[in-house]
Amino acid sequence: MTGASAAERPTVPRAPLADVTVLAVEQFGAGPWGTRQLSDLGATVIKVEDPATGGDVGRYVPPYRDGEDSLFFETFNAGKRSISLDLKSAAGRAVLEDLVAGADALACNLRGDQPARLGLTYDALAHRNPRLVCCSLSGFGMTGPRAAEPAYDYIMQALSGWMSLTGEPDGPPTKSGLSLVDFCAGYAAALAIAAGVWRARRDGVGGDCDLSLYEVALSLLTYVGTWSATKEHEPVRHGESAHPSIVPFQAFEAADGWLTVACAKEKFWRRYCEVAGLGELLGDERFADMAARLRNRDELLAILRARMRERPVAAWVEALRAAGVPVGEVRTLPAALSDPQIEARDAIRSYAHPTFGEVRQIASALRISGHEAPLRPAPARGADQEQVLRELCGYDGERIEAARAQGAFGRDAG
């Protein structure tokens, strides 16, 4: 495939994924976060919610919840559309297959044994759409002895070794303050779907994407995983959130708080010593290079900790930043969200919500020229039922009412 000529290019580019439609059988965090990325890039994402359970469980997550609206749900589902569909009923299945015929992808984040059981795989749906991409994001994948096990981010941080790497040396194993396995898995699913759709359009054949939280977590071990798999390396935790092999690269306590300093290059180490008034360390063979500083970590940090406590955080940040040393104060969340850089980059955006009034959200990190992620509230459960069925399936009012009467949308659909 080749790019369009200059004469053929639109003067105002469309959203990158404006011509992509994704059905999402999803709930809670990882799956919705992945399809939120696609929605932010312009894809039409249609949440297929189970009427028997009140839809996505994320609708009911406290503390900021009102009925079937919550700010948790809003974060993961703004800009999407919603339909209610009973996938376990024959009528609901028939509607799903009609939806699939007009979609590019079907994403789900159910247990690994559920896609096959519910017929949400390529083999089960290709007869309606041979270009369909079916993406399963589960705890352990669709195969293997653990495929049927339920799983959450916390469990994966434990099983993958993340928690053994995190925390103070004498403290308990510690999870990340955020559900990073979920969120990274969502990004991975979005990438897999985009790649699958591209291949399907190029080659005319869709297929399955089989992703797992477990394998995403393992992949994020990156170099530490390589060390362990190759050399049976067993990492040791260091205090103050220190880097395992670069010194200094950690948090330091100042006179009135905490800051982080990252001397990941020799030039940063030299500049740090100059700012800290520790020029004599530059001629000390114990600290001559990264390897030497690692060998003599304890001796070096004893010197640095004492010096860092002599000045307040603001003084250190100002001086080190002026010298070009990577540095940052350890902030509270409200302070973090008030950085002038955020305003300059329009990184917090707001929109009107029928329940919560003004909702302010962190803007998408996916910035592509000529496109800005749309700002629309997350949908009420089933809010787009008729419109989606008319547009995607070609249903008329009579066909919609027949499906309703047969229980396709749940027995409480009226």
Query: Taking each helix axis from N to C terminus, what angle separates 297-308 and 266-276, rounded to the nearest 10 degrees?
Result: 40
Give 56's DSSP letter.
Answer: -
Amino acid at 377: P
Asked whether the beta carbons of 393 and 99 are under 8 A apart, the reply is yes
DSSP 189-212: HHHHHHHHHHHHHHHS--EEEEEE
Asked whether the beta carbons of 257 and 314 are under 8 A apart, the reply is no
- Among residues 233, 243, 353, 371, the one annotated as catalytic is 243
**CA pair distance 228, 254, nearest whole angstrom:** 35
Known catalytic residue at 238? no
**SS3 state of residue 258:** strand
**SS3 state of residue 76:** helix
* Among candidate residues 189, 165, 187, the one with its CA nearest the CA of residue 176: 165
**SS3 state of residue 361:** strand
**CA pair distance 306, 278, nearest whole angstrom:** 12
**CA pair distance 404, 414, nearest whole angstrom:** 8
* Among candidate residues 80, 89, 22, the one with its CA nearest the CA of residue 51: 89
**CA pair distance 97, 127, nearest whole angstrom:** 9
**CA pair distance 121, 138, nearest whole angstrom:** 13
Instruction: Give me the residues paired with residue 25 across strands.
Output: 108
C-beta atoms surrounding 226 within 10 Å: 11
Dihedrals phi, psi of 278, to nearest 5 degrees = -120, 40
* Among candidate residues 170, 307, 296, the one with its CA nearest the CA of residue 238: 170
CA–centroid distance for 190 within its chain: 9
Which sequence positions are flagged as catalytic? 243
